[in-house]
Structure 1
Amino acid sequence: MGTLIDIGSFIKLQRTKKDMTQGELAKGIVSLSYLSKIENKKTEASPEIIQMLCTRLGVQLNNDLDMTIREKCQEWYSMLFESTDKKKIIATYQEIQELMDSNLSENLLMFEIHKIRYHLVLGEHDKALDKINELNELADSFDHTQQYYWYKFRGNYNSTIGEFNQAIKLYKLAEEKINKVDMEEAEAADLHYILAVTHSKLRNTLEVIDFAEKALEVYMKEYNFRRCAQCHIVLGISYRRIKMYEKAIKNYNLAKHLGQLNKDNTVIQLTNLNLGYLHSAINETNQAIEYFLEVADDEQVANSERLGAITALIKEYYYLKKYEKTEEMISKAEAILSDTETGVYYKLFEYTIKTYTYAINEEHEKFTSLVTEEFIPYLKDNNDHANLVVYSKMLAEHFECIGKYKSSVKYYKLANETYEELINL
């Protein structure tokens, strides 16, 4: 069974999982100090002692069963990246957990590390953080492969909670491990794709293009249409941001074509959403609205994408002075939010809906208070330059309309300075 490092870590992990003290485990088998040395990899215990400790922990050493556990784990790890069937992911997890609870397996640490990813897939961010904290004291004993996933999944966690710079640092540490382990090309491509997406959040356009093209090269060889499409969407977003609109449209159309070939509605509608943003950016409002409506009206689309489309429609209709349509979209967004377990990710949608509700109802005090005291500080904290330009300008126009010219100048200035920053990013 495994190495000295493995045995010590496994025993410590199983003991803490069962809420057993070192004293309770060691009693009648070894001294407390000797057990501490085993758990901290400072000594190698005899097979007889290991067997007695395992028996007390209620686990057994079974090499034949370990092959089954390994195969089950590999199947589950793949599901965490490819499958959208959460029921199957949960059922397989529970099956493996039962095996792990009664067998000391050399797959245990990798299984525990993958639980970070599992909780993130299920949207259980607090549980993912708990798992990170629990594994932190064992991290020194991880081999290179375990360290790779440890850094990668912690990066996933930081990205999920909006800490993109920290996520990139962790992904870079994971990337350093790739050269030290026998990693499949597809795994490296996945990391490069994640790096592209995370750099995109920070508007690091050149890095996005570099990492997305590296990932795309591998996915094309493997005929992974879904991932190819996702890379084209990320590239399209970057080219849109640097105003290379033809290149952006070409990438979006490639993504949409791959989505249609693969009958992948998620990819098709994500492309439509981004085509909407592009046409909005070049003031082709009617085309933008058509694309946004495609997404907004599709109940199969994830709530986050639908809300993205609906809040975009709120803005388009408001600036066209189509106030009935604006109100219709506000109601639609509110209905989706009321059925959604909102968190940090949905804060932008909530602020957007409130802002336009107050604007359309001419609730001037509420509008001013919300945008100046909450929304603009939120956008600054999140380095959301694009929306900061939109809402600073909206606030400036509002102050201009009600004759508060000093305040108006202040927010026009903020909008212009932010726009300068945006184009220099």
Structure 2
Amino acid sequence: MIELGHNIRRRRKELGLTQSQLAEGIISIPYLSLIENGKALPRPDVLLPLAERLQTSVESLMGVTDENTMEQVQSLIEKARSALIYEANGFEQAHQYVDTLRKLVESVSDPHILMKVDLLEINLYEHKFDIERYTQLMNAFEEKWENFRNDPDIFVQYLRIKGNMEFHMARYERAMWHYKAAEKRLAEVTDEIEKGYIYGNLGKTYLLLANPSLGILYAEKAMQIMSSHDRWLEMCHLLQLIGSCYCYNGEYEEALQYFERILRMCDQFLVSSLLISRAYHEIGICHMKLGNTEKAIEFLNQSLEVVEPGELPDWEIGVVHQSLCQTYLKRGDLVRAKKHIITALELLQDRKNFLAECYIYLGKIAYAENNPETFVTYYMRAIEIFEELDIGEKIARATHTLGRYFLEQGEYQRGAQLLLKASQHYGQLIPTVDFDVDLPTPKKMAQQKSG
């Protein structure tokens, strides 16, 4: 920023312009003064007209003279970003690109580029779910670049990464806050792919907050962008999201069409087997919900077989075993169900949301084995984690099941307390249509409070 301000001031004086003449019709004089003194970073839509009035280029003002270097930087940023999405060893591959970038940008003084490289490195550790390293780098970024919020492209990317980490930690309301804040700035963003990422992440979060209709809406907005830029593999991810939304709504046949479409696209492009694995997993879930347990088991096992050892993250393997447990439970095969959920439990220790779901399935198995005390223990443990993560829908479902059980056992007070908690959380999920569930304050009480 300091070099940029120095270059603007030097060029203005070379042309004999006053601050007032340079700023007229572009920005305020006080803001120009902040820029020239290195205390503010102008947005691209401000910097371009300033450069034109100064009869020079943005690159020259930024201190960038080597166009070849800039092209290499942009290419490496794109390769690193793509590696995180497509490659089985995405973190290692992207890290190599970042290391190369660090050496390359030693000759670059453009703060926009330098901030993008810093955020890209933070993105690596968010992707790896390395909370400690992510936090260190994010704190350093916020301290180093005091005015990064003035650059919409940078600020939106920053908000997306912050939201992603909250998403990984199953704090979906907090993730939504970051994504919605980013959405408000999208009109100022020049990176169309970044817009697509924000819309896609909003879609995923709405699905997990029990609003699949908005999940589909945002996924389709993201698909329009990715399609216009020939980003076919991102489109596969979005098709999976839309299919998951239909699956959530119980429209399993419709969902199958989207997952099968992914497999057809995978046949046309050289893609990571991760996409095929995830499509098989979702197809297996649809067949399980439709009662086709044999097909479900076949596709769920295929989802593990199509990938090489170590290619699928441990937590995803755990989720597949969780789905296999659910399928065997539907068949009444408690031995196989227990085998798969114990495997899932071992693989999901650092994913609290899925870990709590494992306790739910262990509780179901215990109930089927006529072990009520263990059933209650597992359900209570799951509810505690869901409450810690503030996942309303899962709190509602688990307390509903347990509350109904206690009523059947004649423990009416305990059952009623749990059912009340369930109804409160269900009420948060269902939008008001005709009338609210809350009653107005009675007149006398309102007068007493005001007195």
1:280 corresponds to 2:291: no
Cα separation, partners in 2 of 1:5 and 1:128, compared to 1, 3 Å = farther
Q: Quote the residue 1:120 is aligned against.
A: 126
**Paired residue type of 1:73:** V
> Could you tell me how far 1:424 is from its partner in structure 2?
3.7
Q: Quote the residue 2:75 is aligned against.
A: 75
> Could you tell me how far 1:4 is from its partner in structure 2?
2.8
What per-residue deviation string (whole Å, max 9, x for no partner) do you get for residues 187-230 of structure 1?
32222122211222212222211111112223333443322222
Moved more, 96-105 or 227-236: 96-105
C-alpha distance in structure 1 between counterparts of 2:318 and 2:189, whole Å: 41
Q: 2:94 aligns with which of 89, 93, 107?
A: 89
Q: Quote the residue 2:213 is aligned against.
A: 206
Check whether the contact 2:281–2:299 (CA below 8 A) recurs between aligned residues: yes
**Paired residue type of 1:117:** N
Partner SS for 1:182:
coil
Cα separation, partners in 2 of 1:161 and 1:391, compared to 1, 3 Å = closer
**Paired residue type of 1:238:** C
Partner SS for 1:203:
coil
> Could you tell me how far 1:78 is from its partner in structure 2?
1.6
C-alpha distance in structure 1 between counterparts of 2:100 and 2:337, whole Å: 49
> Could you tell me how far 1:174 is from its partner in structure 2?
2.4
Matched ranges for 1:243-254 at <5 A: 243-254=250-261
Q: 1:140 aligns with which of 147, 158, 169?
A: 147
Q: Quote the residue 1:4 is aligned against.
A: 5
Cα separation, partners in 2 of 1:320 and 1:145, compared to 1, 3 Å = closer
Identical-pair percentage? 15
What per-residue deviation string (whole Å, max 9, x for no partner) do you get for residues 20-42 of structure 1?
xxxxxxxxxxxxxxxxx967569
What per-residue deviation string (whole Å, max 9, x for no partner) do you get for residues 253-304 of structure 1?
2122223333542222212222222233333333333332222455533333
Matched ranges for 1:344-355 at <5 A: 344=352, 346-348=354-356, 351-352=359-360, 355=363
C-alpha distance in structure 2 between counterparts of 1:110 and 1:357, whole Å: 49
Moved more, 259-268 or 228-237: 259-268
Q: Quote the residue 1:131 is aligned against.
A: 137
**Paired residue type of 2:331:** L
C-alpha distance in structure 2 between counterparts of 1:152 and 1:408, whole Å: 42
Matched ranges for 1:29-108 at <5 A: 40=39, 63=64, 67=67, 70-83=70-83, 84=87, 85-100=90-105, 104=109, 106=111, 107-108=113-114
What per-residue deviation string (whole Å, max 9, x for no partner) do you get for residues 376-401 of structure 1?
22234445566557655765787699
Q: Quote the residue 2:241 is aligned against.
A: 234
* Structure 1 unmatched runs, 5+: 8-36, 43-60
Moved more, 201-210 or 213-222: 213-222
> Could you tell me how far 1:345 is from its partner in structure 2?
5.5
**Paired residue type of 1:96:** L
Cα separation, partners in 2 of 1:399 and 1:148, compared to 1, 3 Å = closer
Q: Quote the residue 2:171 is aligned against.
A: 163
Matched ranges for 1:378-389 at <5 A: 378-382=385-389, 384=391
C-alpha distance in structure 2 between counterparts of 1:409 and 1:283, whole Å: 31
C-alpha distance in structure 1 between counterparts of 2:390 and 2:229, whole Å: 36
**Paired residue type of 2:320:** A
Moved more, 218-227 or 412-421: 412-421
Q: 1:342 aligns with which of 335, 350, 361?
A: 350
Q: 2:204 aligns with which of 182, 197, 200?
A: 197
Cα separation, partners in 2 of 1:6 and 1:89, compared to 1, 3 Å = farther
> Could you tell me how far 1:134 is from its partner in structure 2?
2.4
C-alpha distance in structure 2 between counterparts of 1:228 and 1:378, whole Å: 33
CA RMSD in angstroms, aligned pairs only: 3.9
Check whether the contact 1:76–1:89 (CA below 8 A) recurs between aligned residues: no
What per-residue deviation string (whole Å, max 9, x for no partner) do you get for residues 123-180 of structure 1?
3222222222223343435423222222222222222222322322322332333322
C-alpha distance in structure 2 between counterparts of 1:196 and 1:212, whole Å: 5
**Paired residue type of 1:146:** I
What per-residue deviation string (whole Å, max 9, x for no partner) do you get for residues 321-343 of structure 1?
31332243245435645xxx734
Matched ranges for 1:168-187 at <5 A: 168-184=176-192, 186-187=193-194
C-alpha distance in structure 2 between counterparts of 1:313 and 1:213, whole Å: 30
C-alpha distance in structure 2 between counterparts of 1:194 and 1:114, whole Å: 17
C-alpha distance in structure 2 between counterparts of 1:73 and 1:253, whole Å: 37
Cα separation, partners in 2 of 1:104 and 1:230, compared to 1, 3 Å = closer
**Paired residue type of 2:4:** T
Q: Quote the residue 1:316 is aligned against.
A: 327
C-alpha distance in structure 2 between counterparts of 1:347 and 1:315, whole Å: 14
- Count of paired positions: 371
C-alpha distance in structure 1 between counterparts of 2:362 and 2:99, whole Å: 42
**Paired residue type of 1:127:** R
C-alpha distance in structure 2 between counterparts of 1:326 and 1:357, whole Å: 8
**Paired residue type of 1:254:** R
Check whether the contact 1:69–1:96 (CA below 8 A) recurs between aligned residues: no
